[in-house]
Chain A
Amino acid sequence: MGFLHLFIVNKSGGLILHRSLSSAAPQIGTNEWLRIGSTFHSLHAIAAEASPVKLPNNKNSNGAQDGIEQIEGGGVILKCLQTRTGIKFVITAEPGTSDLDTVLREIYVLYSDCALKDPFYELEMPIRCELFTNSVDSLMKRVVAGEVMMR
């Protein structure tokens, strides 16, 4: 399993979290991350316009804003979960890594539990909830250990 990074972009394109998911993940500076976040946000939106197939009102089958779902490069896969509420959960991994979709959906659940219920977390702001980051780390450990995620 070659998970690399996780990043989360809010509705307005601001980066609210970036996290290495393994020691193999390359180090990326904070400013670089901010650029990645906003660039991806814009590309996601433009992609729907540039796409030869335009969905009604740009809504995909989940009712969420249509846009980039997956980017495959020579050495990396990027997968994005765009929620109906406008947040993007993005994960990068080495090619051949499985369960990217499942991991993204589980992370969305963890966000709803650990960040949204924290009285000290302000919506749309950078996530500093220790419980969220600990839970994500714990999730990644279980995924790498091959444990089936049943909810």
Chain B
Amino acid sequence: MSSKMQASQAGQALWSKMPKANAELFALTYGSLVTELVRDYEDPIEVNAQLDRIGHSIGVRCVDELLSKADVAGMGLATQCQNLRDTAEVVAKVGFKMFLGVQAEVGGFSQDQRSFSIYLQDNPLATFVELPAAGDEQYNGDDLRKLKYSNLYCGVIRGALEQVNLKVECNIVRDTLKGDEVNEIRVELKEVLADGAGDDYKEE
């Protein structure tokens, strides 16, 4: 599909221009934040909510970076996003690529074309991470397996799409930290917000 090709190329081109940082420093810094949250909030469900909130804060910011840099590079990204499918491609192929350097795939579109999944094989947030087994006494019985370590992504996607008037809900449905073969983030379109594209987003 032509839009898929362009999104991948755009992602690769933008990634190559981005100044880089060490991936382990990145993972360890995120780890430091998660550790602090676990210490302060204790309940893993609450920590998940905090990670989502923090992700949202990042999401509303990084979208301007994606749009402005794509614009300067002459990529007509905005014209491409005619429907949710195109948007999904941009999030996965441009967003994940330019910021994290990873290949993310899109798939699992629902019948009504209002939800999709993003698949991540490599998860840069979770390098070196292993969740303690259930019942690990060290954590006072809090089942850290309820922790959605990478919940940040859900907040990021939600925040970023909110800035372009798409209200979505995101959930991590598969997690390699929990033994799954791939990381899967499910994104569901709830509402196209006012000032939003309205008719442009036809349900195909």
Which A residues form the contact surface with B (CB < 8 A)? 56-57, 59, 61-65, 83-87, 105-106, 108-109, 111-113, 116-117, 123, 151
Q: Which residues of chain A come closer than 8 Å to B78, judged between CB atoms?
A: 61-64, 84
Closest to A87 in B: B64
Per-residue contact bits, chain B 60-103, to A (CB 8 Å; 1 contact, 0 not): 11111101110111000011010000000000000000000000
Structural contact, A105 and B67, CB atoms closer than 8 A: no
Closest to B17 in A: A151
Structural contact, B68 and A112, CB atoms closer than 8 A: yes
Structural contact, A83 and B68, CB atoms closer than 8 A: yes
Pick the residue among A105, A106, A116 that contacts B64 (CB under 8 A).
A116
- Is B189 positioned at the interface, with any CB of A under 8 Å from its CB? no
Interface of chain B: mostly helix, strand, loop or mixed: helix
Pick the residue among B65, B69, B81, B199 that contacts A116 (CB under 8 A).
B65
Closest to B160 in A: A85
Q: A65 to B65, alpha carbons, bound, how many Å?
A: 18
Structural contact, A63 and B72, CB atoms closer than 8 A: no
Structural contact, A85 and B164, CB atoms closer than 8 A: yes
- Is B163 positioned at the interface, with any CB of A under 8 Å from its CB? yes
Closest to A109 in B: B68
Q: Which residues of chain A come closer than 8 Å to B173, judged between CB atoms?
A: none
B72 → A minimal CB distance (Å)? 5
- Is B197 positioned at the interface, with any CB of A under 8 Å from its CB? yes
Structural contact, A57 and B199, CB atoms closer than 8 A: yes
- Is B195 positioned at the interface, with any CB of A under 8 Å from its CB? yes
Given contacts A57-B198, A85-B164, contact A112 B81 (CB under 8 A): no
Q: Which residues of chain A come closer than 8 Å to B17, judged between CB atoms?
A: 151
Structural contact, B199 and A84, CB atoms closer than 8 A: no
Q: Which residues of chain B come closer than 8 Å to A113, judged between CB atoms?
A: 65
A122 → B minimal CB distance (Å)? 10
Q: A93 to B89, alpha carbons, bound, how many Å?
A: 39
Q: Which residues of chain B come closer than 8 Å to A105, judged between CB atoms?
A: 68, 71-72
Given contacts A59-B200, A85-B63, A85-B163, contact A65 B195 (CB under 8 A): yes
Closest to B162 in A: A85
Q: Which residues of chain B come closer than 8 Å to A109, judged between CB atoms?
A: 65, 68-69, 72
A119 → B minimal CB distance (Å)? 10
Q: Which residues of chain B come closer than 8 Å to A65, judged between CB atoms?
A: 195
B32 → A minimal CB distance (Å)? 15
Q: Which residues of chain B come closer than 8 Å to A85, judged between CB atoms?
A: 63-64, 67, 163-164
Interchain residue pairs A-B with the least CB separation, the first 3: A63-B78, A112-B65, A116-B61
Q: A85 to B70, alpha carbons, bound, how many Å?
A: 14
A110 → B minimal CB distance (Å)? 9
